[in-house]
Amino acid sequence: MQEFQETFIETLQNLDYSPSRGLFVHTCYLHGHLFLKPGWKCSRVVNNTIGDAIGDWYFDRSYFQQIDTCKVPRNCTNTLDLDTFDKKCVQLID
């Protein structure tokens, strides 16, 4: 999986810049949580929820193009605050 992640991120980073292309690439190991309303608030990249990022990109408030490069897949089905979430991620690495 890590090899796929590295190749995927490298490919995205090599694309030509386009403000019409929004990117929100996170390391959640499940993606079904995005179909539920709370899922739009618990998945974050650079301190932005997916709902905020898509809204800002769609309404031309910003050209959100961020990639989470965390090496450990995250459990994004919970609603932990970002600091607690990151601490749990670090605990998995140690």
* Long-range contacts at 11-18 (CB < 8 A, ≥ 24 apart): 12/67, 13/67, 17/65
For residue 70, the enclosing domain spans: 1-91
Q: What is the pLDDT of residues 45-79, one digit of tens each?
A: 777 887 888 888 888 888 888 877 777 777 666 55
Kindly state the helix (H) or strand (E) to which residue 65 belongs, with its residue range. strand 65-67
The total of structural domains in the chain comes to 1
Please tell me the predicted confidence (pLDDT) of residue 45. 74
Q: Give the mean pLDDT of 9-29.
A: 80
Compute the distance between CA of residue 24 and CA of residue 93 in angstroms, rounded to an integer. 23
